Amino acid sequence: MNQAKLKPRTAASRKQRLQRILDALDLRYPNVTCALHHHDAWQLLVATILSAQCTDERVNMVTPGLFRRYPTIHDLAAAPVEEVASIIRSTGFFNNKAKNIVGAAQTILRDFNGQIPNTLEQLLTVPGAARKTANVVLGTAFSIPSGVVVDTHVARISQRLDLTRNTDPVKIERDLIALLPQSRWIQFSHQIIHFGRELCQARKPRCAHCPIEPDCFSKDKNYL
């Protein structure tokens, strides 16, 4: 069963549809935040680096052991890359991630006096901190809406909801920034990520239980 919806034709109707989507997300996920466990901006940066091509659940299993072994940024800056890699092995791409984590610690101590940078331009100079990582850290740790975090959930669901026609994360982010008020950039990503895990799953979306279904244009709906 696939009940395709007619897409809004006017700017006003598109704006109303977007507002209904945002309202539905607010109702279902009013207080969600980043799913990566952390105690400060440094731990969040490390966890976000580890989350590349890895689930948040797996990262949350690995980081407690990593931070017990290396409690501070100074400890990780002096850590042997091979030892870090062995601790984070289950997150995948562990050699490269270990180099980035140790390099990030050294860079922050050397260039930023041990303080996590709070601008996008500065964060992008830190090893392992591409745009998605920088947006996560700035939004969650500093409440700075520097952009929209585009992970696999946000990319997939934005396409299903026809909020973007692009597949490249940078272009998807550009489309979402143009659509969403800046005050929603941080929360929207958190909400969509939770929504993607609970309902709008990749292989079998739970459309019969979805509060956004009336405004969804996806061609792969599932009501079973």
Residue 132 annotated as catalytic: yes
Of these residues, 132, 175, 215, 219, which one is catalytic?
A: 132
Chain Cα centroid distance, residue 136: 6
User: Which CATH number does the domain 11-33+148-215 belong to among 3.90.1150.10, 1.10.1670.10, 3.40.50.720, 3.40.50.300?
Assistant: 1.10.1670.10
Pair of tokens at residue 202: 């990749």
Cβ neighbour number for residue 81 with a 10 Å cutoff: 17
DSSP character at residue 5: P
Q: Residue 2 and residue 135: Cα distance in Å, rounded?
A: 36
1, pLDDT greater than 50: no
DSSP 52-80: TTS-HHHHHHHHHHHHHHS-SHHHHHTS-
The identity of residue 34, as a single letter, is C
Domain borders along the chain are 11-33+148-215, 41-142
Residue 151 annotated as catalytic: yes
Express each pLDDT in 54-108 by its tens digit: 999 999 999 999 999 999 999 999 999 999 999 999 999 999 999 999 999 999 9
Q: Residue 202 and residue 141: Cα distance in Å, rounded?
A: 29
Contacts 24+ apart (CB under 8 A), 63-71: 63/36, 63/37, 63/38, 64/37, 67/43
Residue indicated by tokens 């091509």: 53
Express each pLDDT in 116-148 by its tens digit: 999 999 999 999 999 999 999 999 999 999 999
Average pLDDT value over all residues in the chain: 94
The CATH number of domain 41-142 is 1.20.140.10: no
Of these residues, 15, 26, 75, 151, which one is catalytic?
A: 151
